[in-house]
Amino acid sequence: MIRITSLLLALLSLATPMKGAERKPNFLFIITDDQRWDAMGVVQREQGERARFPWFKTPGMDRLAEEGVRFRNAFVTLSLCSPSRAAFLTGRYNHLNGVITNGGPLPEGSVTHATQLGANGYATAYFGKWHMGKQNGPRQGFSYSASFVGQGKYIDCDFEINGATIPTKGWVDDVSTDFAIKWMKEKSGEPFSMVVGYKSPHSPRGGENLPDRLRNLYEGETSREVPNSRIKAVYHRNNARKEGELGGLSENAIHLDYLRHVKGADENLVRLLDTLDELGIAEDTVVGYTSDNGYFLGEHGLGDKRAIYEESLRIPMLVRYPRLFGKAKLVDEMVLNIDLAPTFLDLAGVHVPEQMQGVSWKRLAAGRKPENWRKSFLAEYFKELGDTPTLVGVRTIDSKLVRYTDHPEWTEVFNLAADPYELNNLAADADTTAELSNELDTQLKAMKYQVPAKAANRK
């Protein structure tokens, strides 16, 4: 009898790690607003002499990079707040998911990573900035939400808790994090998937929109000029008005306020990571950190985003999952915002709906590069506010073509390997332009591109 009992105990001890390995992961996805790909301390150090703000430090992001995977070539498919957030949720291009500008809601009945995870036993929640025009009420597809309408405001912002409005006190990203931590502690004993949307570093910035601890940070520091800061965008060369007016502030002051907001987001990321440690669930949680689009800090004479020059199209992307992904891993293959939804479902063992156009990077992050990983992708924009015209483009591993729908004479072609600042337009090179045009047409067909009816009459 003693031998049988001992054998059973031994078998149980062997079974326990298997249960841990098969445990459904939790998901914590953090998305900032307008954070460029290089607004991270780890990237600034990596860039060396090319760094714009080498003094900038982000301990939280750097910790994620050290403990997980950093995708060095992550992109959005449409560089604008609401459309990109919808792409992260749905895994679909914006010409198909129903959100092409900042003005519209996420359509009712949208299939998202949250709807699919919720249908498979996950508690789901959304915190902070949602945007999608002025959409209000409980956040679609999530079982719990603590969010605000539209852009909200940085200080003392009203929140909607499952649709019911309450006042709050303090800096909005701190408040979003407070709500997220409280919910995480309540749900730590069951599989959960949560999104935390920060308002930072979206404008309006400046001292009045920062907490006291950040207002004078980086005083006396300066950002470095880059070669393309004196080169106007092709659609501005005959236009005296500059997109992203400085509003009386120096360019350097704008940069400092921008980075102060990013620093605030990083501080709240640290709080979230510390909570996972405190609850003992860090090993079981997939943590993703990214932004809804990049941002111009004077490059090509621009502020804001929308265009598909590199500063606007590229985003930070950090992922940590100790049970599957390695540490301090660099991935240079191109990943997109539409890849997030299928990846989360893949990691959870949930069927990926056929309508999702993104591709799971689970194997890529785990160090097993899939065959035939993408060598190019389609980017798009539909004219909204500002001067950026409707466009489509193709970005390959080392090149780019931009086709301005109503102005073929503005077509741009860049060799990114030789010209990372996109200074020299090679559209006059017939062979290169033809090759990239063919690749763009292939992508347009593969992604079922169509100009949505509500965008068709915009010029």
Q: Are 77 and 391 in contact (CB under 8 A)?
A: no
Domains and CATH numbers, the chain: 24-368 (3.40.720.10)
Query: 218-233 burial by CB neighbour count: b if 16+ within 10 A, else e?
Result: beeeebeebebbebeb
Share of the chain above pLDDT 70, in %: 92
The pLDDT value recorded for residue 3 is: 45
Q: Which helix (H) or strand (E) holds 101?
A: none
Q: Quick check: 21 pLDDT over 70?
A: no
Q: List pLDDT tens digits, range 138-174.
A: 999 999 999 999 999 999 999 999 999 999 999 999 9
The pLDDT value recorded for residue 240 is: 40
Mean pLDDT score across all residues of the chain: 92
Q: List pLDDT tens digits, range 179-195.
A: 999 999 999 999 999 99
The Cα 209–Cα 227 span in angstroms is: 31
The pLDDT value recorded for residue 114 is: 98
Q: List pLDDT tens digits, range 334-349.
A: 999 999 999 999 999 9
The pLDDT value recorded for residue 302 is: 93
Mean pLDDT over 49-55 rounds to 94
* pTM reported for the whole predicted model: 0.93
Q: Quick check: 11 pLDDT over 70?
A: no
Q: What are phi and psi of 168, to 5 degrees?
A: -135, 165
CB atoms within 10 A of CB 125: 25
For residue 272 the two structure tokens come to: 């979230």
Q: Quick check: 6 pLDDT over 70?
A: no
Q: List pLDDT tens digits, range 230-268.
A: 889 999 866 544 444 444 457 888 999 999 999 999 999
Which DSSP string do the residues of 75-89 spell out, in sequence order? E-SS-SHHHHHHHHH
The pLDDT value recorded for residue 245 is: 43
Mean pLDDT over 86-111 rounds to 96
Min mean pLDDT across 56-65, 188-197, 226-235 is at 226-235
The pLDDT value recorded for residue 443 is: 98
- β-strand partners of 71: 331
The pLDDT value recorded for residue 196 is: 98
Q: Between residues 13 and 409, which one has the greater pLDDT?
A: 409
CB atoms within 10 A of CB 352: 18
Q: Any residues with CB less than 8 A from the CB of 163 and at least 6 apart, and which?
A: 136, 137, 138, 145
Q: Are 210 and 264 in contact (CB under 8 A)?
A: yes
Per DSSP (E only), the strands in 226-365 are 285-291, 314-315, 317-320, 329-331, 335-336
Q: Quick check: 221 pLDDT over 60?
A: yes
